[in-house]
Structure 1
Amino acid sequence: MKTQISNPKALSLGLQHVLAMYAGAMLVPIIVGGALGLSSTQFAYLIAIDLSTCGLATLFQMWRNKYFGIGLPVVLGTSFVAVTPMITLGKEYGLTAIYGAIIVTGLFIILFAKYFSHILKLFPPVVTGTVVMIIGLSLIPTGVKNMAGGTSNPHFGSAQNLFLSLATLSIILVIHYFGKGFIRSIAVLIGIFAGTVLSSFMNPLNFTTVKDASWVHLPMPFYFGVPQFEIVPILTMLIVGIVIMIESTGAFLALGDITKQRLTSKDFERGYRAEGLAFLLGGIFNAFPYSTFAQNVGLVQMSGVKNRRITIAAGFILVFLGLVPKIAALATLIPTAVLGGATVVMFGMIVSSGIKMLTTVDFTNQSNLLIIAISISLGLGTTVVPELFSSLPSFIKTLFGDGIITGSLAAILLNLLISQKGKPVETAKDISLASQGGH
């Protein structure tokens, strides 16, 4: 029996999801727009259309029908995997070539979603649990950097930033421990709000961005010009699309486990096709490639609220914020340290989900231990030392420069190569019996 949630509660919980992913959703257009030298007008459009497209992409994934939509409580946001390729391609080929490549990739994912959905046999529990753990572990360094104020902050690691992040974290934990029902489910939202208010007593909030933002900003197809279709940008973006699908597979599997839903190849097919539609939308409206946001997976796990109405509300909120930039700009008042204190909890919850999934794995098999050990080492290692593949060709760096992808591919390949071939680990009882038999 599904729990009924009132509209006000659904909006509150949806807003919590929006705030959880807002920093990531805003950061990508800021990085790409700044690197490509966009004007202030173009910058404003890029941020606004990004929020609206995040919302529409989320609603596509929620609209479960015969053709697309996985129907899990997912929130889609701009993919960080696409940042470096978009900047590189934009400087060499121009913005119109980027969006032509994104459109082609979206069509590719839509057409081949059925075939990608048959890779489920590559994801037994030892792989799925490891991949989900890697997703969480790879995100934790970002959360910790945000706790210190963000890498670009001149006061990185200051006592004030650490105090704000730890205070936010403490508020969330206190509410989660002592709170009940709805209050407990919005612990992250309350923590972010309280942390921002606390910050205002230390440093007055700067409302300049809010004042400068416009009230209405409507989407425009092909805002940066008619898309161009160049072979190198298309091939690069196809690699990005495949990488994003692998990431989303881990997120789908984690949510399936959290919501106690057994996912079929048909579910994955619809999920992939919805992401292809999100790519297509991003290309047409000159936004970005989109993928399932892992921090929102952690939020579902932490809040314990799995109702799809929540993420549907989040989708509509994002669309609204994109259309009304002045309101969207209010979220820029939240200090990075406060967001860090909130997200580090959610990233840790993703790790916990992975550990939970691994409890069904046979740990007496040495092969399983090797798969987990090597995959996590490579995934986390690449995240901490991203320059590991710096001397390799750009398309290989795109594929392996992301710790989540490196670790995930390692888990999949190792499972295919060595699974079931390892000898069981000798337990203390085995050794004792063997020694007795030798006397």
Structure 2
Amino acid sequence: MQMSKPKQLSLGFQHVLAMYAGAVVVPLIVGGAIGLTPEQLTYLIAIDIMMCGIATILQVWKNKFTGIGLPVVLGCTFTAVGPMIAIGNTYGIPSIYGAILVTGLFVLLIGKYFSKMIRFFPPVVTGTVVTTIGITLVPVAMHDISGGQGSADYGSGLNLALGFGTLAVILILFRFGRGFLKSIAILSGIVIVTLVSSFFGMVDLTPVRDASWFHLPRLFFFGMPEFNIIPILTMMLVAVVSLVEATGVYFALGDICEDDLDDTDLKRGYRAEGLAIVLGGLFNAFPYTTYSQNVGLVQLSGVKSRQIIYIAGVMLILLGLVPKIGAVTMAIPTPVLGGAMLAMFGMVISYGIKMLSRVDFENQNNLMIVAISIGMGLGVTAVPDLFAIVPGSLAVIAESGIVLGSLTAIVLNLILNTRMDRSKQHVLKEGHAAN
């Protein structure tokens, strides 16, 4: 059944709200750490939002060369935050974008070969990766419910009431709502509790007042890119890590949409991410990856239409071109976003568990893969300083629960299941020879 335009716009805006905070936080953190001026930071946030929209459209638009063709939303990758800060402070901002440009080309080139690794992602691996992604992101939502790490009123009663109040409204609408109202439970919960927050002085409209009405992207805004080998290799490693994470998201969405992915689909998906990274580098935005919270939103709303994601992509482009409109979403209190994210990240976990339900757990090897991988991912998330002695170039892997848990699942599957399969094949060959 065809939805009306207002309903489509509401669903698209719901996807924008789901990813907007994460997309804005990355340039805020990096820009602040490398000493950008307010004018430069304003440009960085606006261009990143706009390029998130372009990257999302490139990924949803399935053609012969690029696009996974699933309802996936792309945003700035958190994996690159630490490396980009280190590169900017050591080599300068132009080196960040030189490394991003080369990395984008690298992803475009390796997409064909990385997609051939699909056999290394059976359900025990993809289910574990998706579950780990959700579990390791839950602390982010809980910190936001408390008011955001470092906030003066962290953990206050008002913050907790707003955060868990948002979650309660979402649950009520999801339980008693029907049709369209149920599908926009996340958006409705955010809007309702934001309005309530305004009575407590929690809604700051200063960013809206200060933001400009129109903004155009500029090629090489931060100067001509510089190419240094260490930053390039570091960002390449970040890209490979992001591709591993994206693979799990692709399979989760493919499962939700009942679309069996093959290596050709993955190749187009990887290429779309590579092309988005190159375009981002040209206009001085940041690298992109698939956003898990939007996967949870697809599952929660039950709306799997690519048309909705196209609408979300166009909205992001407009928000980037008109910063004053984009600033409206920044007025949403952090605890409110935290309550919504808890629901979405929880849905990611539950879908990962659903994927794991198809795994043969009579096989003890599969039990061990899931146990150790999720344990590693959750362990690093809970104890972030565990690998403090690891060199900076490897910290990308060691300090991320998502990355470490995902790589552990892949490696353990290779060690435990691949060797077992080969031994079985050897026994069968011997049996045939004897006959």
> Structure 1 length as normaliser, TM-score?
0.94
2:363 aligned with 1:365: yes
Q: 8 Å contact 1:68–1:271 — kept in the other structure? A: yes
Q: How does 1:129-140 map to 2 (within 5 A)?
A: 129-140=127-138
Equivalence for 1:201: 199
1:247-273 per-residue CA deviation (whole Å, 9 max, x = no partner) reads 101110110111111001000000000
Equivalence for 2:414: 416
Q: What is the one-letter code of the residue matched to 2:388? A: S
1:368-416 per-residue CA deviation (whole Å, 9 max, x = no partner) reads 1100000000011111112111101111111221111100111111111
Return the alpha-carbon distance in structure 2 between the equivalents of residues 263 and 420 of structure 1.
21
Equivalence for 2:85: 87
Equivalence for 2:380: 382
Q: 8 Å contact 1:365–1:420 — kept in the other structure? A: no
Equivalence for 2:261: 263
Q: 8 Å contact 1:172–1:190 — kept in the other structure? A: yes
Equivalence for 1:20: 18
Selected match of 1:72 from 64, 70, 73: 70
Selected match of 2:60 from 59, 62, 68: 62
Return the alpha-carbon distance in structure 2 between the equivalents of residues 160 and 245 of structure 1.
39
| Mean Cα deviation higher: 370-379 or 385-394 | 385-394
Return the alpha-carbon distance in structure 2 between the equivalents of residues 261 and 281 of structure 1.
29
Q: How does 1:133-172 map to 2 (within 5 A)?
A: 133-172=131-170
Residues 236 and 184 from structure 1, CA distance in 2 versus in 1: closer, same or farther, beyond 3 angstroms? same
Residues 204 and 336 from structure 1, CA distance in 2 versus in 1: closer, same or farther, beyond 3 angstroms? closer
Q: 8 Å contact 1:367–1:420 — kept in the other structure? A: no
1:104-129 per-residue CA deviation (whole Å, 9 max, x = no partner) reads 00001111110010111011111111
Equivalence for 1:177: 175
Secondary structure of the 2:310 match is helix
1:281-315 per-residue CA deviation (whole Å, 9 max, x = no partner) reads 11001010000001001100111100001111000
Secondary structure of the 1:419 match is helix
Residues 378 and 113 from structure 1, CA distance in 2 versus in 1: closer, same or farther, beyond 3 angstroms? same
Selected match of 1:308 from 306, 309, 331: 306
Equivalence for 2:236: 238
2:211 aligned with 1:248: no
Q: 8 Å contact 2:51–2:280 — kept in the other structure? A: yes
Equivalence for 2:227: 229
Q: How does 1:425-436 map to 2 (within 5 A)?
A: none
State the identity %: 57
The unaligned stretches of length 5 or more in structure 1 are 423-439
Q: 8 Å contact 2:203–2:333 — kept in the other structure? A: no
Q: How many pairs were matched up? A: 420
Secondary structure of the 1:322 match is helix
Q: CA RMSD in A?
A: 1.0
Return the alpha-carbon distance in structure 1 between the equivalents of residues 47 and 81 of structure 2.
16
Return the alpha-carbon distance in structure 1 between the equivalents of residues 44 and 153 of structure 2.
28
TM-superposed deviation, 1:204: 5.4
Q: What is the one-letter code of the residue matched to 1:169? A: L
Secondary structure of the 1:386 match is coil
Q: How does 1:31-46 map to 2 (within 5 A)?
A: 31-46=29-44
Equivalence for 2:277: 279
TM-superposed deviation, 1:205: 2.7
Return the alpha-carbon distance in structure 2 between the equivalents of residues 152 and 217 of structure 1.
31
Q: What is the one-letter code of the residue matched to 1:317? A: M
Equivalence for 2:427: none
Q: What is the one-letter code of the residue matched to 2:348? A: I
Return the alpha-carbon distance in structure 1 between the equivalents of residues 283 and 220 of structure 2.
6
TM-superposed deviation, 1:153: 1.2
1:339-385 per-residue CA deviation (whole Å, 9 max, x = no partner) reads 01000000000011111011111111111110000000001111111
Return the alpha-carbon distance in structure 2 between the equivalents of residues 351 and 56 of structure 1.
28
Return the alpha-carbon distance in structure 2 between the equivalents of residues 81 and 323 of structure 1.
26
Return the alpha-carbon distance in structure 1 between the equivalents of residues 27 and 192 of structure 2.
27
Equivalence for 2:102: 104
Equivalence for 1:115: 113
1:37-91 per-residue CA deviation (whole Å, 9 max, x = no partner) reads 1111101100100100000000100111000000100000000000000000001
Q: 8 Å contact 2:390–2:398 — kept in the other structure? A: no
Return the alpha-carbon distance in structure 2 between the equivalents of residues 388 and 133 of structure 1.
22
TM-superposed deviation, 1:420: 7.0
TM-superposed deviation, 1:418: 1.1
Secondary structure of the 1:389 match is coil
Q: 8 Å contact 1:17–1:296 — kept in the other structure? A: yes
Secondary structure of the 1:300 match is helix
Equivalence for 1:346: 344
TM-superposed deviation, 1:5: 2.6
1:215-243 per-residue CA deviation (whole Å, 9 max, x = no partner) reads 00100010000111111110011001101
Q: What is the one-letter code of the residue matched to 2:201? A: N
Equivalence for 1:394: 392
> Structure 2 length as normaliser, TM-score?
0.95
Secondary structure of the 2:148 match is coil
Q: What is the one-letter code of the residue matched to 2:311? A: A
